[in-house]
Structure 1
Amino acid sequence: MRMLLNSPGTVVADALRGMAAAHPELDVDVERRVVVRRNARDGGRVGLVSGGGSGHEPLHAGFVGYGMLSAACPGEVFTSPVPDQVLRAAAAVDSGQGVLFVVKNYTGDVLNFEMAAELAEEDGLRVERVLVDDDVAVTDSLYTAGRRGTGATLFVEKIAGAAAEEGAPLERVADLARRVNAASRSFGVALGACTTPAKGSPTFDLPDGELELGVGIHGEPGRERRPMMTAREIAEVAVGAVLEDLAQVGPADGPVLALVNGTGATPLLELYGFHAEVARVLAERGVPVARTLVGNYVTSLDMAGCSVTLCRADEELLRLWDAPVRTAALRWGC
């Protein structure tokens, strides 16, 4: 095992200590595993809380800050945060306007955030939950009932965070988050398996010369395995799967937000080359692209691969997407 760490048992705590040192604008509780925006209660805003297993960085702690999340709860690697973490985060950011939980559709996340919401409401906090389930590759798996939550989580957190920054009430912020999720679809591809620190070896077997189409962000199986394909061929499959599913929502109306996401071990040289093919496919199919992100945003440790997420965006969603944001991993307009 070749990893830049002290020991598998301290990898999350060590990362949080490093984050605290690099970003003094965040309150990082290493022991209790909560990352909170400094002065999160100021301004009487709705609080936004998300979280999940570590190993997907910069999701979620990298998106805590102005115009996005109020707090994040990192669990152990590929393990959901516990309800006490989520409850602690909600209490830390509640200004009296309520708190929105953004939850990726994985069984542990769903159950633990639901339990935290119940505990928060017993303590007098108003809580809304939004489920992100954008992955078109599979329906139901060992990890989920229904679709998995992947790249659209970034779109939901950014747009809902902008609305909260503007002073929108809880119900409005939650409605916008659900609109973004409903308008978003994703598809991922693995070129190589990821390795968890505790296991020290690949989490699944992917023979040389093969790839996994529709892989999940924890290495869950996708639709099928095929011999290695070119970037052009992969873009055709991934974008085609996303557009086919989006068509079931209704006729195309307006442009899309596009996320070409690396899963951890794919260099930007390859990601930009892949994005050229994604842009080509979208142009050939008459889909205008309003905004694009290319890079590592929702990763899977050291997995080699990529994913494509598209979100149909009307004028309101575009305005909120363009609103200023200042986090460790995403920033513009500030």
Structure 2
Amino acid sequence: MKKLINRPQDVVAESLRGFALAHSGKVRVDHDLATVYRAERPLLGTVGLVSGGGSGHEPLHAGFVGHGMLSAACCGQVFTSPVPDQVVAATQQVDAGAGVLHLVKNYTGDVMNFEMAAEIVADTADIEVATVVLDDDVAVQDSTWTAGRRGTGATVFAEKLAGAAAEEGRPLAEVAAIARHVNENARSMGMAIAPSTVPTAGKPNFTLGEDEMELGVGIHGEPGRATVPYAPAADIARQLAEPVLADLPFAGGDRALVLLNGMGATPLIELYLMYGEVAAILAGHGIEVVRPLVGNYITSLDMAGCSLTVLRADDELLRLWDAPVETPALRWGR
């Protein structure tokens, strides 16, 4: 294992120290609880947004803390859920009198710990909490890490769109409804051509032959639909797009937000090539891609591969998507 680290057990803490220094004008970090907050205090009367999960998926979630997206992100150890104490503290700190929305990827540890935190807050503080669980991955119904579908790329869309609604001063029920609408109208599928290596493990978390790829892989390296023969990009694009479109049927003329996401080790030259293939497939189905996003947004350490997320978009979602955002990883309109 060759990585730019000191001790494997210190990776998350030391990464957060560097993150805080690099983005000191945008965020502040509670290093004791490994939680990232907006640099500015919450605006009175606005809904707070808290998300989080295991580290190793950067820029998710810490990179999306800031104006127009999250109020706070709780960072677990690599591929490990944050603990309830982190979520409780974040919820209390970002509450500005209008309640707090928890955005939770559907992984067993994340769901359980956010649920426990919401119960603790309900018992100890006068804060209204709403929870939206994201489960957009069409690859498998149940996996090593979940009961039900996994939460993947739709999380980026939900954090942006619900964040924009919160910035408008909309009530908690409406902000949560936006996130649920995103989840209901988004589908994702991923693949890998090489595994990732967790620093504390020191070895790849799965194996693939030279002529193999994993179709439907999870963001922790958990198995997907099948290990299949490696194929050219055009074929891979079809194997990602067809299950997504079959699970969420589109009509000709529908508009879509599309995320072509890198898993961490795939260069942009390949991601843009893959997006070209995907765009052609979507156009062939009469789908208009109105806002493409290409790059590393929800990664799996140094896994090589990509994922596709397609969100059926209406005028309201497009307006919220175009609203100003300023975070370490996503910025426009300010």
User: TM-score normalised to the size of structure 2?
Assistant: 0.98
Name the stretch that deviates more: 70-79 or 222-231. 222-231
Alignment of 1:83-102 (within 5 A): 83-102=84-103
Gaps of 5+ in 1: none
Alignment of 1:203-218 (within 5 A): 203-218=205-220
- The answer to whether structure 1 residue 7 and structure 2 residue 10 are counterparts is no
Deviation readout 1:98-120 (Å, 9 max, x if unpaired): 00000000000000000000111
Aligned residues of 2:253 and 2:288 also touching (Cα < 8 A): no
Secondary structure at the residue paired with 2:191? strand
Alignment of 1:173-322 (within 5 A): 173-247=175-249, 251=251, 254-322=254-322
Gaps of 5+ in 2: none
Deviation readout 1:195-214 (Å, 9 max, x if unpaired): 00001110011111110000
- The answer to whether structure 1 residue 332 and structure 2 residue 306 are counterparts is no
Deviation readout 1:25-78 (Å, 9 max, x if unpaired): 211011211101122322421000000000000000000000000000000000
Structure 1 pair 240–46 and aligned structure 2 pair: CA distance change class (3 A): same
Number of aligned residue pairs: 332
Whole-angstrom distance in 2 between the partners of 1:170 and 1:88:
19
Whole-angstrom distance in 2 between the partners of 1:31 and 1:302:
27
Deviation readout 1:312-331 (Å, 9 max, x if unpaired): 01000000001000000000
Whole-angstrom distance in 1 between the partners of 2:8 and 2:120:
32
Structure 1 pair 253–124 and aligned structure 2 pair: CA distance change class (3 A): farther
Name the stretch that deviates more: 280-289 or 307-316. 280-289
The runs of 4+ residues in structure 1 deviating greater than 4 Å are 250-253
2:56 is aligned to: 55
Identity of aligned residues (%): 61
Whole-angstrom distance in 2 between the partners of 1:237 and 1:205:
20
Note the C-alpha offset of 1:253: 6.5
Structure 1 pair 182–85 and aligned structure 2 pair: CA distance change class (3 A): same
1:121 is aligned to: 122
State the AA in 1 paired with 2:330: L
State the AA in 2 paired with 1:297: Y
Whole-angstrom distance in 1 between the partners of 2:187 and 2:43:
34
Note the C-alpha offset of 1:251: 4.9
Aligned residues of 1:40 and 1:70 also touching (Cα < 8 A): no
Note the C-alpha offset of 1:254: 2.5
Whole-angstrom distance in 1 between the partners of 2:166 and 2:76:
25
Note the C-alpha offset of 1:293: 0.2
Name the stretch that deviates more: 149-158 or 121-130. 121-130
Whole-angstrom distance in 2 between the partners of 1:226 and 1:93:
45
User: TM-score normalised to the size of structure 1?
Assistant: 0.98
Aligned residues of 2:135 and 2:183 also touching (Cα < 8 A): yes
Note the C-alpha offset of 1:155: 0.3
Deviation readout 1:267-320 (Å, 9 max, x if unpaired): 000000011100111111111111000000000000000000000010000000
Secondary structure at the residue paired with 2:198? coil
Aligned residues of 1:13 and 1:31 also touching (Cα < 8 A): no
Q: Over aligned residues, Cα RMSD in angstroms?
A: 1.0
Aligned residues of 1:253 and 1:312 also touching (Cα < 8 A): no
Note the C-alpha offset of 1:168: 0.4
